[in-house]
Structures are given as structure tokens and as C-alpha cells.
Chain A
Amino acid sequence: MGPAPRISVVVPIYNEEESLPVLYREVQETLDGRGWSWELIFVDDRSSDDSRAVVLALRERDPRVKLVCFRRNFGQTAALSAGFELARGEIVVTMDGDLQNDPADIPGLVAKIDEGWDIAAGWRKDRRDAYLLRRVPSWLANRLVAAVTGTRVHDTGCTLKAFRRQVVKNLPIYAEQHRFLPAMSRSSGARVGEVVVHHRPRRFGRSKYGLERAVRVLLDLLAIQMISRFSHRPLHYFGLFSLPFAAASLLFLFMGTVNWRTFEMVDEWPQFVVFVFVLFLLLAFYYVLLGLLSELAVTASGMHRRRVLDRILSELH
């Protein structure tokens, strides 16, 4: 193992045998053209085709090509996180294995990191995908993510991103969180910049996404919102959550027991008003209790004391 390279390119692959030689050549031409030292890490998410043999053939010719093989299919986030673990470069670039990302964009992303940003996110301004099936849902999702997490990134779904090494080494990701990496790391103080990148139509294989993910994405988003903003003070989150319920209970009580014309309280409170009032009030209390429980979980894990990424980044800048 030689000295650490400047750039690590991490590429999760799943049945991409046709694209890989082209991808390798483009990465090699671009990065060697700049005179940078680099490594190219493929993470094979248990492809059923010959992707693995193709990568090993590339590796025969060029030892800068590395390969991690999974025991079975574990998904893209797991693949990225395995690649991050292996990466040794100062700057870690992630990209898709299907050639829709253009390796020629890597220097632009690297330049952005050199300017002082911690993450350079690719923005496919001019997408080459089916309009209705891919671009509209993606636009909606991006607006939603931006609104919920408060991180204005135009294109969270774009895998082509560059990270300062410290970010990927200190930010654990799991369960499809790779899309939310900018949002999650920004809450730790990372500076997120954007670079417009090319987007090429698919040449080989077929798209591995479907449209049936709406509910899951919404739920994931709710989780990300909480984690990225409130993971250190979950009580605040649950407390805010309980407010509307408390308000609803009081409103119902007020409307049910106050005479609209005279603004006097009615003599006998209707039974159902009291029921509904109590039920909503209980819900509000319940959420506060859940918040306390979460505080307990966070404290017990010692997470609040670590905050490694925040510390490293604040020393860096």
C-alpha cells in the first residue's frame, strides 16, 4: 500500500458489467490528465452478472482499482459506507456505476472542495431521464427535502458528490440515508456547495429505481428531519410536536363550552367535549413523555458527548 492518494472515487455497482471498462477509462483519463494521485473503489453489491470479474480484470492492469465484495445485496447506502471505510484519499468522490454521471465533472467538484467547502454536491441541471417518471417526482422530492431539512440542495438524488475526507470518515450512514448526506452533515456544521454537472442518458442496462417509494420516502424524510435537526435535543422536537395537540384540545374545549353569542361558559359541559379534550391533552402529554424517553436513549448512548464531526470541522475552518 503506497502513500494515500489525493482522490478516492467510490462507485457502488450492481449489475453494471458493460459500463465498468468505459467508466474506468474516463476516470483514469480525467484524473491522470490532472496529474492527481487517485484510487478507484468499486463496491459490488452482489451483482448477478460478471461485474466482479470485469473489475478484477481492470485491477490486473491497474492496481489503483480496488474492489469490495458484499456477501449479498445490501443496498446503495451500505455500498457507499463500505467504500467510505476503505477510502484513503483526501477527497472522496461518489458516483453511479451506470455512466449517467460524467467523470469529467470530478475536477469541478474537487475545485469546490479546494475553495473551502466540505461537500460539493452535483446538480444535474439538465436531466436526461423520463420526464414524468423520474424528473417530476425527483423535483418534488428535492423541494420537500429542502423545505424539511432546511438545506438548499437542488438535487439530493445525484450520486455524484465530493466530500472532504473528514466528513465521510465521521458521519455514519445507514438505511438509505445517502440521499440525505448533505442535510445530515450540514447539521454538524459542514459547508455544502453545489456544482452543475452533466447528466448523460443511460447507455447500458436499465434503471434500478421505481416509482413505488412515495410513502417510504416521506417516512424517511420525517426521520431525517428529526435526526438532522434535533438528534441532540429530541425533547425539543417532541415538545414542538405536542403543541398542536394541546392547542387542538383547548380549542375544542373552548368551542364546546363557551356560548358563542354571550361569550359565557355554558352551565353543563357536554360529555363528548370533555372526552375529546381529555384525549387530545393525553396525546400532548404522551409526546412530552416520548421526548423524555428519547433524551434517555441519547444520553445513554453517549452520542451527545462525541459530536466528532462538529469538532473536527470547527477546528478545520
Chain B
Amino acid sequence: MEAPRAPLLELPPAVPAEAGAKHELDVTIVVPVETGDAEVGEVVAALGGELEREGRSWECILVFDGVRGAAWQRAQELSRQHGAKVRTIAFKGTFGESTCLSAALERARGRTIITSPQYVQVDPVELGPMLAAIDAGADMATPWRRPRVDPVLNRLQSACFNWVIRQMIRGDFHDLNCYLRAIRREVLEGVSVYGDMYRFLPVIAHRHGYDVVEVPVRHLKEWGTAGFYGLGVYVRRFLDVLGVMFLTKFTLKPLRFFGSVGALFSFMGLFILTWLAWQRIFLGSGLYNRPVLLLGVMLFILGVQVIGFGLVGEIIIYSQARNLREYRIERIYE
């Protein structure tokens, strides 16, 4: 049974929502607001209007991630206008989209959560197919903007990013950078989202065994400027990918990751040292003028250190073993 497999870490199932909380609505729209000029009015009108047309009950939670500005005023107006249908959560500091989503989830009354960027990025009509996919049994519908309308350079960068992700993580995702997603509530309650993992939500849900489908959508517009980002953005994106790969593949077996890397270094080091020893013993060439000796020793030591990390990782995982459950049950016939 060596087929696709990825150990993964899972905390014990989240405490079920208190008896009082009911999920009586069809959809909760969650919009993390990150700049003061966010087009919250347009988003609520577009998505809410589409849901009305579909005949689904909805509410919208606007989460202000440490910003106010014009969007805040607009949100207050919307609240007055729609009553409890449009609510706001305001953070004092900036905590990122994952935290916005968790905060909104605690207060959401919808059975399906729709996350949306802070402007109308995708044709709202596409909510229809996405929600239809959820109705058909999928746990999450993630968009694939096709064709895209932003500048070629951005598209190219995005395509590269998604290609790298596909190579590193099993799972066929073409567009992780579009956040108009429809997610069944249980998914978010079962998968802990934190840090910069918001972007990788489809990947993580997929690793947890949830059924994630990609829905092609019509791209309307894109915020932000064309061109290259700062160097820091690329570094952070790379680290994100590394982190997700590590967490999805090696969480339960850290030694497999660190051990392989460490073994590679130590073997290189050992190879150099053996070669030197052979020359020293049989050819009589002294070690004192061989800088490569240091290289060999350093490589060997680096390798052994990395293996040490893996061992500590194993200890940490084992000490938490009672809280781990690496599988997801779909159904039990008892």
C-alpha cells in the first residue's frame, strides 16, 4: 500500500460549535479587508446580489485587518442598510488573512463559507457553478481564472508559481492566487489555518482528504501594479512553498526529510575524508597543506547536524502521538 500517501499532522477535531450556535444560513461571505480603499460596497452588492438571484440566504462578514479609512465608513453604511446581514469585525493590528478567516468563522452562520478578495475580481455569476459543485458533494471549490486579464508579466510569474507548486505537491492546482473560494464549513473546522497558509488552503484541504474541485472562472480585473515585486516577496513565497511541502509530506516523519538531506552532506564529507585518508596512508601526502580536509570535515559535520534536527523532530512528534490522527474517516458502517 505504497500508493499516494502523505503523513499529515492533525490536531484533535475542533470542539463542536456550542449548542446555541446554529448554521441556519446557506452562505457566509467573508471578506478580509486589507487597505482603506477596499471596494467593500461593490463586493457586497455583486456577491450578495448574485446569491439573492440564486435564491440562497446569505450574510457577509467584513474583517478589517487593522485598517479603517473610507472602506470602514462604507461598511458602517452597509451595516445600517442591511442590518445583521452585513457585519464587521475590526482588528486592532494586522494579523493576516488566515486570522481574519478564523475570526469570521467563529461568528459565521452559513453552512458554506465564501471567501472573497476586497474587490470584485471575478465575475459574480461564477458563484453559481462553484456553489453547484459544493451541492454536488465537493468540500471546496477553488477558482481558476481563465483567461486572465492582468499584465503578461504577472500572469507569467503566477504561472511559474503554480507550476512549482504542482511539482512539489501532489494535487493539480492551477491558480492558488485567486481567493474567491467556496468552502464547506466542516473543512475549515477540521483544518487549522494559520500564518500564511491562506493561499494554500486548497492544497492543505486536499491533503486532509477533502474533495477540492477547480472551477474555471471569468476574470474581471486585477488590483495591484504590473511588474516585479520586491525581493522579499519572492523569498517569502519560496519559504511558503518549502513550508507547505515539508508540512504536507514530512510532518509525521521529520527524519525522512532531515535524514535524507543530512545523509547527502555527510556522504559527501565522508567521501572527501576517505580520499584524503587513502592519500595520506598509501601515498604519504601530508594533511597539513590540504584545505579540502576542512571542507570534508565541515560537510560531514553539517550532515550530522541536520540528522540531529530530524531526531529532535521525531521526538517532538512522538511525544505528541496521542493527539495525532493521520487519517480522515468518510464513513463508518458499525
Is A275 among interface residues, defined by CB-CB distance under 8 A?
Answer: yes
Q: Which residues of B contact A280 (CB under 8 A)?
A: 297, 301
Given A75-B5, A276-B293, A290-B312, also A174-B321 (CB < 8 A): yes
Is A287 among interface residues, defined by CB-CB distance under 8 A?
Answer: yes
A223 near B334 with CB under 8 A, answer no
A70 near B326 with CB under 8 A, answer no
Instruction: Tell me which of A1, A176, A227, A293 contacts B318 (CB under 8 A).
Output: A227
The 3 A-B pairs at the shortest CB distance, nearest first, are namely A71-B209, A301-B319, A175-B252
In the complex, residue of chain A having the shortest beta-carbon distance to the beta carbon of B258: A219
Instruction: Tell me which of A82, A175, A231, A241 contacts B329 (CB under 8 A).
Output: A82
Considering only residues 65-83 of chain A, those with a C-beta below 8 Å from chain B are: 66-79, 81-82
Of B44-52, B176-184, B231-239, B303-311, which stretch is located at the interface? B303-311
A215 near B263 with CB under 8 A, answer yes
Instruction: Tell me the total A-B contact number using a CB cutoff of 8 A.
Output: 167
A272 near B287 with CB under 8 A, answer yes
**Distance between Cα atoms of A306 and B310 in the complex (Å):** 24
Interface size class of A (residues with CB under 8 A): 35 or more
Is A146 among interface residues, defined by CB-CB distance under 8 A?
Answer: no
**Distance between Cα atoms of A76 and B333 in the complex (Å):** 19
Q: Which residues of B contact A219 (CB under 8 A)?
A: 253, 255-256, 259-260, 263, 310
B328 near A174 with CB under 8 A, answer no
Q: Would you mind naming 16 contact pairs between A and B with Cβ atoms under 8 Å apart? A: A71-B208, A71-B329, A72-B209, A74-B327, A75-B5, A75-B326, A210-B2, A219-B253, A219-B310, A222-B259, A223-B253, A223-B310, A223-B314, A231-B319, A276-B297, A297-B316
**Distance between Cα atoms of A263 and B281 in the complex (Å):** 20
Residues 264-291 of A, flagged 1 when their CB comes within 8 A of B and 0 if not, give: 0000001010011001101100110010
Residues 156-180 of A, flagged 1 when their CB comes within 8 A of B and 0 if not, give: 0000000000000000111110000
**Distance between Cα atoms of A234 and B312 in the complex (Å):** 9
Q: Which residues of A contact B322 (CB under 8 A)?
A: 172, 303, 306
Of B5, B7, B319, most A-chain CB atoms within 10 Å: B319
Q: Which residues of A contact B208 (CB under 8 A)?
A: 71
**Distance between Cα atoms of A275 and B290 in the complex (Å):** 13
Is A38 among interface residues, defined by CB-CB distance under 8 A?
Answer: no
**Distance between Cα atoms of A272 and B287 in the complex (Å):** 8
A290 near B293 with CB under 8 A, answer no
Interface size class of B (residues with CB under 8 A): 35 or more
Instruction: Tell me which of B1, B293, B315, B328 contacts A226 (CB under 8 A).
Output: B315
Q: Which residues of B contact A17 (CB under 8 A)?
A: none
Instruction: Tell me which of B209, B260, B320, B332 contacts A74 (CB under 8 A).
Output: B209
Of B5, B211, B252, most A-chain CB atoms within 10 Å: B5
Is A208 among interface residues, defined by CB-CB distance under 8 A?
Answer: yes
Minimum C-beta distance from A286 to chain B (A): 6
A72 near B328 with CB under 8 A, answer yes
Given A174-B321, A209-B2, A290-B308, also A226-B327 (CB < 8 A): no
B4 near A73 with CB under 8 A, answer yes
Minimum C-beta distance from B16 to chain A (A): 19
Is B331 among interface residues, defined by CB-CB distance under 8 A?
Answer: yes
**Distance between Cα atoms of A131 and B245 in the complex (Å):** 37
Is B106 among interface residues, defined by CB-CB distance under 8 A?
Answer: no
**Distance between Cα atoms of A81 and B327 in the complex (Å):** 9
A220 near B256 with CB under 8 A, answer yes
Is B294 among interface residues, defined by CB-CB distance under 8 A?
Answer: yes
A270 near B288 with CB under 8 A, answer yes
Instruction: Tell me which of A67, A72, A81, A208 contacts B332 (CB under 8 A).
Output: A67
Is B3 among interface residues, defined by CB-CB distance under 8 A?
Answer: yes
Q: Which residues of B contact A174 (CB under 8 A)?
A: 7, 252, 317, 321, 324, 326
**Distance between Cα atoms of A151 and B317 in the complex (Å):** 23
Q: Which residues of A contact B287 (CB under 8 A)?
A: 272
Is A155 among interface residues, defined by CB-CB distance under 8 A?
Answer: no
A70 near B330 with CB under 8 A, answer yes
**Distance between Cα atoms of A59 and B332 in the complex (Å):** 12
**Distance between Cα atoms of A67 and B327 in the complex (Å):** 15
Considering only residues 14-39 of chain A, those with a C-beta below 8 Å from chain B are: 14
Q: Which residues of B contact A175 (CB under 8 A)?
A: 7, 252-253, 326
Is B298 among interface residues, defined by CB-CB distance under 8 A?
Answer: yes
Q: Which residues of B contact A1 (CB under 8 A)?
A: 334
In the complex, residue of chain B having the shortest beta-carbon distance to the beta carbon of A209: B2
In the complex, residue of chain B having the shortest beta-carbon distance to the beta carbon of A282: B301
**Distance between Cα atoms of A110 and B170 in the complex (Å):** 42
Given A175-B7, A231-B318, A272-B287, also A70-B329 (CB < 8 A): yes
